[in-house]
Structure 1
Amino acid sequence: MLLRNIDLNLLVVLDALLTEKHVTRTGVRLHLSQPAISHSLNKLRVLLDDPLLIRQGNEVVLSALAQNLQAPLKAILGQVETLLGQSIDFVPADSQRTFRVAMSDYGAAIVLPKLVTQLREQAPDISLVVIQDSRLGMIEQIEQGKIDLAVGVFPMLPADVCSDVLFVETFTCLLNRNALPDSGVLDLDTYLQRPHLLVSMDGNTQGEVDNVLRSQGLQRRVAVNVPHWGTAPGMIGDTDLILTVASRTLDNLALGDSLVTLAPPLNVAPFNYVQVWHQRFNEDPAHRWLREWVKQVSAKPLAVV
């Protein structure tokens, strides 16, 4: 397909159609008539040799090609706007942009409540799509233009992926008080003797704690491996399991009398919790605005003294 055969305005219409999945709503969004949108949709179907929008019963769904086009198309249009200087005066209250962000349920618990509040107050027409993936999967989607931003722990990043530290996190152990020795101290011997609960999105049994133990010629036994941070604390209950997790996972958690939190009996270094994005978005005002809010809402409130 030759680029000269495409009216770039069609890409704007395509982006709106893939978002709205409705000709009339697309027309309202772009301030164009329904016949004009229908005409553009027909041209796009011919150019791309694909139906794009498919009616299934009472709803309209995207074709496979349309689904694959949606995220890269938004990224391209954002770059074009920045190139032409049209997004210099980004006004959150007037924006209809859709941001796709990847994070674990741990990140979601920290970021989303306050972020969504700010979006609804300042930019009610901006849409937020949140997905979950492994670290590698998040980076791949960043590079492919499928997502705008990822939040998590990324020890290694490609050269074209930028990062910003949101906060520094430490580890805490959660266990049943009855699983402690009579001394009430969680020493390393006890830690290694007890079975462990591990949070791993991809099922990998080697986390940061295991890397530290291996460097010392030691190993713990992971008895349960789960993919979600949010469910892990509730699984300790009356068991002999030890859960070693990021400290903020346990914020505002009602532990009760049976559970106790203690520092790990080994030196596990703090880690940076970051947001990452592709360098193509560095100068995009809307993207910078989103990144700034993610950073603000991630900051831990100062303790009241």
Structure 2
Amino acid sequence: MELNDVDLNLLLVFNELLIERRVARVADKLGLTQPSVSNALSRLRKTLDDELFIRTSNGMEPTPYASQLAEPISSALSTIRNSLNQQAVFAPATSTRKFTISAADVGEVYFLPALMDKLAQVAPGVSLKTVPNTTVNLRETMEAGQIDLAIGLLPQLKAGFFQRSLLHQDYVCMFREGHPLQGKKISLKQFCEADHVVVSAPGTGHSKMDEMIERKGIRRNIRLTVPHFVAVGHILSTTDLLATVPERYAMACRVPFKLAYVKHPVVLPRIGINIFWHAKVHKEPGNQWLRNLIAELFSDSKAA
């Protein structure tokens, strides 16, 4: 006999009859009518070619064949029930899982030091890999499960993705400590006359800010263009160049590179940085844990 020959719902009735021995009790327990329970027993008798239960003064007594089936069917149903009800768990303290996060280099500078420090405390076996969000098809890569989380200003991640707001920030004007413009409110004229280093980062929120400055008709004296933020701190610390950077990046670089920053003379909109994940990992415990940890560390609201 094959499984597709048996309606598995009938086995639930069979198992309860073994326990209760009364049709009325089984019907009440399963939320069925007594005729429905009797009908189910009739169908199972026909399928298994055995009476299975005999009506006696003590209730429905199982036949030898039913008694033989009792333990394996009860065990199988219990296994199925436990499997369906089991909630997978993630134990950060003992896990050796490797997570992949997509973030721009400016995000890596701000997020990774504090995140790695926290992981060392609560999940010493967990490791991270970062992937630039401009070098992959982020949507397809996350759909394929190759990237667990993405952080940034990523309007292309809409249908099929969840997102959570982390923080909002302004753009500031940054330069070395001791710069002639330090301690002053920089005027638009001073901003335009100064020498600038610009980060060319197509497809990112930062590139949109540069485009906005250009659309306002503001012409900077751009002396250097670099493809990423990694070298900006080093460059500013030894030159009189200015850079337009996100405030959180400026906060992270100020002390290590002995830099200073002031309010930007150009009116620019605040940007929102979100954390994104694909719908298929929405309830995956490890993913839930990591994104909650990141929100705990960096969210403006510090909401769990």
Q: 5 Å matches for 1:124-203?
A: 124-134=124-134, 137-175=137-175, 178=179, 180=181, 184-202=184-202
Q: Which residue of 2 aligns with 1:18?
A: none
SS at match of 1:145: coil
Structure 2 counterpart of 1:89: 89
1:254 aligns with 2:243: no
Question: Where does residue 222 of structure 1 map in the other structure?
Answer: 222
Q: How has the CA–CA distance of structure 1 residues 279 and 239 changed in structure 2, closer, same or farther, with 3 Å as cutoff?
A: same
Work out the number of aligned pairs and report it: 218
The structural deviation recorded for 1:246 is 0.9
2:241 equivalent in structure 1:
241
Q: Give the Cα–Cα distance (whole angstroms) in 1 for the partners of residues 290 and 184 of structure 2.
A: 46
Given the superposition, is the C-alpha separation of residues 140 and 220 from structure 1 closer, same or farther in structure 2, using an over 3 Å criterion?
farther
Match of 1:53 in 2: none
AA aligned to 2:191 is Y
User: Shift of residue 139 of structure 1?
Assistant: 3.9
Q: Which structure's CA Rg is the greater one?
A: 2
CA RMSD of the aligned region, Å? 3.5
Q: Is the 8 A contact 2:166 2:275 kept in 1?
A: yes
Q: Give secondary structure in 1 for the equivalent of 2:174.
A: strand
Q: Deviations over 1:214-251 (max 9, x none)?
A: 44233434332223424212212453421010112222
2 CA distance for matches of 1:187 and 1:206?
Answer: 22
Check whether the contact 1:171–1:246 (CA below 8 A) recurs between aligned residues: yes
The structure-2 alpha-carbon separation of the partners of 1:166 and 1:147, relative to structure 1 and needing over 3 Å to count, comes to: same
In structure 2, the residue corresponding to 1:92 is in which secondary structure?
A: coil
| CA apart distance, 1:191 | 1.7
* 1:165 Cα deviation from its structure 2 partner: 1.2
Task: Work out the CA distance in 2 between the residues paired with 1:123 and 1:178.
Answer: 42
Evaluate the alpha carbon distance shift between residue 256 and residue 274 of structure 1 in structure 2; reply closer, same or farther with a 3 A threshold. closer
For structure 2, the 5+ residue unaligned runs are 1-82
- The 5 A counterparts of 1:272-283 are 272-283=272-283
Distance 1:197 1:245 in 2: 10
Deviations 1:38-70 (A, max 9, x none): xxxxxxxxxxxxxxxxxxxxxxxxxxxxxxxxx
The answer to whether the 8 Å contact 2:175/2:260 transfers is yes
Gaps of 5+ in 1: 1-82
Aligned counterparts of 1:125 and 1:169: Cα–Cα separation in 2:
32
1:122 matches 2:122: yes
> What is the TM-score normalised by the length of structure 1?
0.59
CA 262–255 in structure 1, closer or farther in 2 if over 3 Å, else same: farther
Q: What residue is the counterpart of 2:72 in the other structure?
A: none
Distance in 2, matches of 1:280 and 1:300, equals 26
Distance of aligned partners of 1:163 and 1:202 in 2 relative to their CA distance in 1, 3 Å threshold? same
Quick one: distance in 2 between partners of 1:118 and 1:178?
35
Q: TM-score, normalization: structure 2? A: 0.60
